[in-house]
Amino acid sequence: MLTFKPPVTGIALSLLVISGSAPIWAADAEGEPRAISQTEALGDAPELQAPAGVEPVSYQPLNGKERWNLYLRDTFWSTGAFFRAAGPALGGHLNNEPPEWGQGTAGYSRRFANRFGRFALQKSYEAAGAALLQHDVRYRRSGRSGFLPRAAHALTANFVTYNAGGRRTPHISRVGAALAAEFTGNLWMPAGHRDPSTAMRGVGMHLGVSSAFNLVREFAPDLRRVFSWK
């Protein structure tokens, strides 16, 4: 029986890069809300945050073009997409899972292709489902104060999102996409590694890495301000 070893090394490597994260909300010079990248958020751009338990009345849902551009960028054109595949692939390589793929460059390449393929499938399924349901796929920082409430917001962001009216709703497209991608990815795995337990471990790894990235997105601007203070 295959023993699962959590790819701690892979997850740690994934967290080194967050540039592939979804944009957060900020106010422009006129005070109007706009979506900005994580790089901008790490600077001094003022953030637009709702009071605890209150959705911003100026919430703007994604339009079709924005959804398409966000999908292409997050899936294929961001450094974060590379590290989301490279990190877990390294964890699997160090654990020699599956052993049929061997070691060396060839073995790691197959593991990287496996994780990137599953990641691309997950993003594709999620984008289609979210567009159909009119759900938001972006991460939005919490408007609350205190570490625990904000950490809870980040950790639950994979399971709760916003609808076209800016109201919180179950993130069906993300969880469903993670399940669909892992079971689809099992089709190219070696015999003996296509069982449901293998897929469910992949779902847990995907959601775990995503939650860790959300924690970084939530607190990175604050840490930047703390460590840049003189």
Are 189 and 98 a contacting pair, CB within 8 Å? yes
Which amino acid belongs to residue 55?
E
Model pLDDT for residues 23-66, shown as the tens digit of each residue: 444 444 444 444 444 434 333 333 334 434 444 447 788 888 89
Are 111 and 93 a contacting pair, CB within 8 Å? yes
Q: What is the pTM of this model?
A: 0.67
* Domain ranges within the chain, ordered by starting residue: 8-228
Model pLDDT for residues 123-171, shown as the tens digit of each residue: 999 999 999 999 999 888 888 888 999 999 999 999 999 998 888 899 9
The alpha carbons of the chain give a radius of gyration, in whole angstroms, of 18
Residues 218 and 154: their CA atoms lie apart, in Å, by 7
Residues 2 and 97: their CA atoms lie apart, in Å, by 9
201 vs 125, higher pLDDT: 125
